[in-house]
A = this chain, B = another copy of it.
Amino acid sequence: MKALIYNGPRNVTVTDVPDPRIEHPKDALVRITTTNICGSDLHMYEGRTDMEAGRVLGHEPLGEVVEVGSAVERVRVGDLVCMPFNVACGFCKNCERGLTNYCVIANPDPDIAGGAYGFADMGPWQGAQAEFLRVPWADFNCLRLPPDAREKENDYVMVADIFPTGYHSTVMAGVRPGDSVVVYGGGPVGQMAAYSAILRSAATVMVVDRHPDRLTLAEKIGAIPIDDSKASPVEQVLDQTGGEGADCGCECVGYQAHDPEGHEHIDLTLNNLVKSVRIAGRMGVVGDFVPQDPGAADDLSRKGEAVFDYGLFWSKGQQMGTGQCPVKRYNRKLRDLIHAGKAQPSFVVSHQLPLNEAPAAYKHFDAREPGWTKVVLKP
């Protein structure tokens, strides 16, 4: 089959590789019909991780089941399914508590929990930017889609990662109807966070970014765009909230946050969050942070350490939740919202391309070229 292979920093190609096959009686094979390129793929693309050369990238899979192992009981050949980016067994001590983002079985490394398709350090699983995908623990990992799915694949595919991830940040931030919410980052996840806050009836949603296309997109869904290249985002948020700060804060940027001059600061969005969220406010941080970052510019960042305005954080009595999203906690209900016509997360899609154009798409997306918000691939 054809698949997008990581060969080394900023070098990916669509290559012929052996078809995946059923390796365990609980596996299913899925023919991928829609899959995405994710912002976190860029960490690997840029060589900021220890991704092995030769692996298939991609962790946002949607497709049709073409074969199931002998112990698969629920999923059937012909089902249209969408899989969480998390690979999870369903029965370990973390999975049983709903922490499918920290499955201890899906990751053979004893020091790391959590599996994912086509991801550095997250288990041996091949990626989804390919014609076929092996899905382990298929009964647990496959979310079946309703009959209308064929027409809405670009909506449903967002349920694999970015829609639940953005949603998760609003849950950790405790968004309730009537709240004010600030979202740092107007990329795909930030758009989904803002969209989720709107679905949860926030009174005011603000999206901080500086790329005009992202700010425009945020405004289109009903958020207030905050351009941090024009003025302090903290001041702008305080202005919008009567000087108090937002009730809730969502971080959707991560450790590669850049200032308007283009320099990377691991702590940029965190400290802005603390300042722009109100007393006793809550924050959900879903932007990626890493414990080691050998490619970082300074000593602290290389160790994943941030100069954090802790005294202010504490004296404001704020709360913070972090980490990757346990997609299974949300994907069924988000699917139902799409099915009912109450959510159309595909608004974030800027490009729909065949698989063989994926290498070019990586290049444009990595360069944050205007208009390259979210790329959907059709293998």
Q: Is the CB of B290 within 8 A of A90?
A: no
CB of A333 within 8 Å of the partner chain: yes
CB of A21 within 8 Å of the partner chain: no
Q: Give A284's nearest chain B residue, CB to CB.
A: B319
CA distance A70 to B70 in the complex (A): 11
CB of A32 within 8 Å of the partner chain: no
Q: Specify which of B200, B308, B335, B336 is in contact with A306 (CB 8 Å cutoff).
A: B308
Q: Specify which of B26, B279, B309, B323 is in contact with A102 (CB 8 Å cutoff).
A: B279
Q: Is the CB of A307 within 8 A of B309?
A: no
Q: Specify which of B140, B288, B291 is in contact with A309 (CB 8 Å cutoff).
A: B291
* CB contact under 8 A between A105 and B74, given known A203-B336, A308-B306: yes
CB of A172 within 8 Å of the partner chain: yes
- Most B Cβ at <10 Å: residue of A203, A317, A320: A317
Number of copies: 4
Distance of A321 from chain B, by nearest CB (Å): 4
Distance of A238 from chain B, by nearest CB (Å): 12
Which of A4-12, A213-221, A297-305 sits within the interface? A297-305
CB of A337 within 8 Å of the partner chain: yes
Q: Is the CB of B333 within 8 A of A322?
A: no
Q: What chain B residues lie within 8 Å of A200 (beta carbons)?
A: 177, 200-201
Q: What chain B residues lie within 8 Å of A189 (beta carbons)?
A: none
Interface string of A66-96 (1 = CB under 8 A from B): 0000110110000000000000011111101
Closest 8 CB pairs of A and B: A304-B311, A317-B323, A178-B333, A289-B314, A203-B340, A306-B310, A308-B308, A291-B311
7 examples of A-B residue contacts, CB within 8 angstroms: A74-B89, A102-B279, A177-B333, A177-B334, A291-B312, A305-B310, A308-B308
